Structure 1
Amino acid sequence: MDVAVALALIAGVAWAVNIVIVRWALDRTDGPPLAGAFVGVAVAAVVTTVVAVVAGGSGPTGENIWQFALTGAIAPGASQGLFVSSIESIGPARSSVLVSTNPVWSVALAIFFLDEGWRVPVLLGTALVVVGGVLISWEPGLGFRHIGVVLALIVAVTFGVRDVVASQFTNNTDLSVWWAASIVLTSASLVVAAIGLVRHRQAFGAAVIGATPSFVWSGVAIAIALTTLFGAFDRSRVGVVAPLSNAAQSVAVVVLGAAVFGAKERTPRILAALVLVIAGGALITAT
């Protein structure tokens, strides 16, 4: 198996593990979702920084820092609280499939800004992934105006922007993926903390302390997901990596979600959407 494909699949599974952990943790904490979001990215920042220091390799420069800090501010910084809120609102499987529509943004942006060029199989595969997400949005009781659906679709857009920005920066630097992830996650932590303090003031600190035991493993999953995703971007195009990673995420989150939360995470509509996502990923992989 191609290294980029393997890393993209690992990243997708790790993101899925994170989503299921977040849903599980939300059931065990009383504070605002933003507190759990902060714990996840902060722990991930610590993990990636420690590994980066131990592993050595090319360290950051001033240019590296602002580039990857910008990436982190976009996602998971600005989007993490929205993602956690979406998971709380409509569940892990639905949120994951909807966020998996981000390849349409990733591919479109990569064509226009990275000059990747378009190819019919990649576009068809991306279209299948997107149709799977739309199918979830038409589920009875949801609809495009449901807050959980809206939040997930906003996150999908920010992830698409993140993929393109991260791909551009990783392909033009010798910075190790661990240092890149460390900068991204540190920036994201600061953004989420700032939003949390503005929204919840003094109560945010207590909420973070209460959320830490439940959300700590979310941070470990995020660290693995982001570093492998960056490694995949360093070896292949956005139009290949993004749809594959999201297909793996959707498959894994439905399987894990059904195992942990039961039948509500494996409805016929979710499974149909999942089939479309898998087909799209397979079509892209074959190109």
Structure 2
Amino acid sequence: MQSRFTAILIALTAAALFGATTPIAKALLGPMPPFMVAGLFYLGSGVGLGAILLGRRYWRSVGKGIGTRELAWLLGAIAFGGVAGPALLMLGLTSTPAATSSLLLNLEGVLTAAIAWIVFRENVDVSVFLGMAAIVAGGVVLAWEPGAQPGATHATTGAVLIALACLCWAIDNNLTRKISTADAMIIACAKGLAAGATNLGIALAMGAHLPAPHIVIGAMTTGFGGYGVSLVLFVIALRHLGTARTGAYFSVAPVFGVALSLAMWPQAPDAPFWIAAALMALGVWLHVRERHEHEHTHERLDHTHRHVHDEHHRHTHDFPYSGDEPHTHPHVHLPITHSHAHFPDIHHRHSHKRG
């Protein structure tokens, strides 16, 4: 299975790529309608990953497609995260102060973890909970503007819309976990195309026009890295870390965005940046030091994903096998009871006895 530190690094890289989109967008795009910005970013993600998928007929496959049983989960994830979430966010941003918006976006990580823990029964211990709290606190410090006014009544509606967008993305994250054994690139491509078409369609319907070609290319390229590649890595991290932990690591994205912004427009970081960075570093450390170990039973499981022949993959092959690893094929996990440190990954989604 994936090394725990490799999986954590993958999640943090996803966060860094996503966080970098904000300052790059500020430098590239200028005054563009929010729906146009979102549409071009997501479309760049979907088109770029789609091009890679088409070219992969010449490469060795690194994952599996979406099966019939997984299609409903994918459609749900696209509906919540690729269509409803971005639309609600863009509508909310039009009437919500920037400081309020930044603070509210921290809800995504909280809601993602809450759904994972309460609905899908992912394991949580004190260290993980405190780590999540520290990361969220860092995001609040980073976004907080003491002098900002709370805004008029109409801003309340915008705040509700942003909160609903965060809820949609939290649902999306948990639904995506259900299909995380599938090819991450197919999942990210489908989401990008759906969200891109939706947001771009709304922008054009509202009277917006496509910007100059070099702006379109710049926006789509930014979206490919910050939304596309980032989401591919996020799905891979989901596969190995579970939803709540991956969501927590992804919540450090703002500090990467601010750090890049400071590099692009040099100035001395202020106190809130260092406080936020320290809180987020503490949160990541609390997660890294987690050691969840107990005797557990694996029920029979039949699935497909990229793997090596570790302690969870002791199977034979009904096809000529060259010995190459990692590789992808349908395989069966026979029931086994053992004890070792583990995350709530695709092989450890078991219940825990209370008391």
Q: Counterpart of 1:90 in structure 2: which amino acid?
A: A
* Unaligned segments of structure 1, at least 5 residues: none
Q: Counterpart of 1:246 in structure 2: which amino acid?
A: S
Separation of aligned partners in 2, 1:212 and 1:61: 34
1:21-79 CA distance string (max 9 Å, x none): 2222332xx43121111011011101112222333442334554443233123224333
Q: Which has the higher helix share?
A: 1
Separation of aligned partners in 2, 1:25 and 1:13: 18
The reply to whether residue 165 of structure 1 matches residue 175 of structure 2 is: yes
Contact 2:142 2:255 in 1 (8 A): no
1:95 to partner: Cα distance: 6.5
Q: How does 1:148-187 map to 2 (within 5 A)?
A: 150=159, 153-170=163-180, 174-187=181-194
Alignment match of 1:12 (pick from 8, 12, 15): 15
TM-score, length of structure 2 as denominator length? 0.67
Contact 1:167 1:233 in 2 (8 A): yes
Contact 1:240 1:285 in 2 (8 A): no
Q: CA 1:69 to 1:191, structure 2 compared with 1: closer, same or farther past 3 Å?
A: farther
1:202-242 CA distance string (max 9 Å, x none): x3343596851341222221111000000110112112111
Q: How does 1:205-244 map to 2 (within 5 A)?
A: 205-207=209-211, 211-221=215-225, 222-244=227-249
Separation of aligned partners in 2, 1:120 and 1:71: 29
* Unaligned segments of structure 2, at least 5 residues: 291-355
The residue matched to 2:66 in structure 1 has which SS?
coil
The residue matched to 1:67 in structure 2 has which SS?
helix
Q: CA 1:73 to 1:271, structure 2 compared with 1: closer, same or farther past 3 Å?
A: farther
Moved more, 155-164 or 115-124: 155-164
Moved more, 215-224 or 96-105: 96-105
Identify the structure with bigger relative contact order (alpha carbons < 8 Å, sequence gap 6+): 1
The residue matched to 1:204 in structure 2 has which SS?
coil
Q: CA 1:241 to 1:139, structure 2 compared with 1: closer, same or farther past 3 Å?
A: same
Partner of 1:118: 124
The reply to whether residue 58 of structure 1 matches residue 64 of structure 2 is: yes
Moved more, 75-84 or 237-246: 75-84
Separation of aligned partners in 2, 1:153 and 1:8: 23
Separation of aligned partners in 2, 1:268 and 1:75: 34
The residue matched to 2:210 in structure 1 has which SS?
helix
Partner of 1:250: 254
Q: Counterpart of 2:38 in structure 1: which amino acid?
A: A
Q: Which has the higher strand share?
A: 2
RMSD: 3.3
The residue matched to 2:200 in structure 1 has which SS?
helix
The reply to whether residue 191 of structure 1 matches residue 198 of structure 2 is: yes
1:262 to partner: Cα distance: 4.2
Contact 1:139 1:269 in 2 (8 A): no
Q: Counterpart of 2:187 in structure 1: which amino acid?
A: A
Contact 1:72 1:186 in 2 (8 A): no
Partner of 1:268: 271
Alignment match of 1:73 (pick from 75, 79, 95): 79
Contact 1:96 1:253 in 2 (8 A): no
Q: Counterpart of 1:271 in structure 2: which amino acid?
A: W
Give % identity: 19
Moved more, 249-258 or 149-158: 149-158
Q: CA 1:231 to 1:275, structure 2 compared with 1: closer, same or farther past 3 Å?
A: same
Contact 1:121 1:284 in 2 (8 A): yes
Q: CA 1:95 to 1:280, structure 2 compared with 1: closer, same or farther past 3 Å?
A: farther
TM-score, length of structure 1 as denominator length? 0.81
Contact 2:47 2:189 in 1 (8 A): yes
